[in-house]
Amino acid sequence: MSSPVGETLLTVCRDARNKLLLVAPYIKVAALVKVLDATSPGVSVQVITRWRLDELVSGVSDLAIWPALCARGHAELWLQPSLHAKYYRADNRSILGSANLTGAGLGWSASSNLELLVESSHLAEHLSLFESEAFRDAKKVDDAIYLAFKIALDSLLPLPPPQLEDPQIDNVKFATWRPSLRFPQDMWRYYSGDRNALTTASCEAARLDLAALDPPAALTQDVFHSWIALQLRQHPEVQAIEAFGVQSRRFGEMTSLLSSLGAQDGAHAWQTWMRWLGYFDPTRFKFHVANYSEIFEVVAPTQ
């Protein structure tokens, strides 16, 4: 099935000589493979997308794009949780519009969408800034992060349909958010509606944290726990913590790191992160006390 939108993308891919960048929140493996087949094997490919368990369960995106990229070689996959843009660039030639990298988006399915992709090389300066912003807070995928998503996805029952956005919910930007709730086990209590034992301050902190993490409604406790752990792995500050913690670090070193990342009170910020990481991802992040100082280390760094 031919489509002007899909053919526009394939033409750009065929013309690539050095680098191909594919940016879309929804990517289906069949559409990705079709694009990769149109691209010269010597071209380096970078893909930016987002993975949410509810979207993966519903089928709008495929985890299988990671094995497909690995099989091709010369390819990277990055996760950007706040991604909404659809943007494709081959060397210095760029197109953007409304089309996700899916059969429906590119006109390659029987029930295709009405979409648009247009060349936009005259916006080179703006697009370069967009690329920098997209990569800055993105998480590079490897086998460990892929496996974590796959295990969580395989354990899920079908999720309920997404709720309409509540205009009363705070708009908290995930990339700049830090956890507010001091005791992370209270997140489930607030989410599940069991709030009688929570203070007013804890309820307010949990509400803001949930606004940033944005889980679907009606998750079971185990799935909710997995959801939060996977979201945290994609957070830019956790990525910095993870990279710094490849070597054992003392409490003072971690507070200095958090202060350098913008925390007004590095000690308080690290104490809160310690509780969250130790609670939601205890197999990856380890803590112990030695010589009167809390020691932190990453047991199995993802990259």
Q: How far is CA 216 from CA 9, 163, 203, 270, 299, in A?
A: 33, 8, 18, 27, 30
**In angstroms, rounded to a whole number, what is the distance separating the alpha carbons of residues 291 and 162?**
49
Pairing of β 293-298 and β 285-290: antiparallel
- Tens digit of each residue's pLDDT (9 = 90 or more) over 124-154: 888 999 999 999 989 999 999 999 999 998 8
**In angstroms, rounded to a whole number, what is the distance separating the alpha carbons of residues 123 and 218?**
43
- Tens digit of each residue's pLDDT (9 = 90 or more) over 45-57: 999 999 999 899 8
Q: How confident is the model at residue 72 (pLDDT cuts 50, 70, 90)?
A: very high
- Tens digit of each residue's pLDDT (9 = 90 or more) over 250-292: 999 999 999 999 999 999 999 999 999 999 999 999 998 887 8
By the 8 A CB rule, do 269 and 258 touch?
Answer: yes
Please measure the distance between the N-terminal and C-terminal CA atoms of the chain and give it in whole angstroms: 40
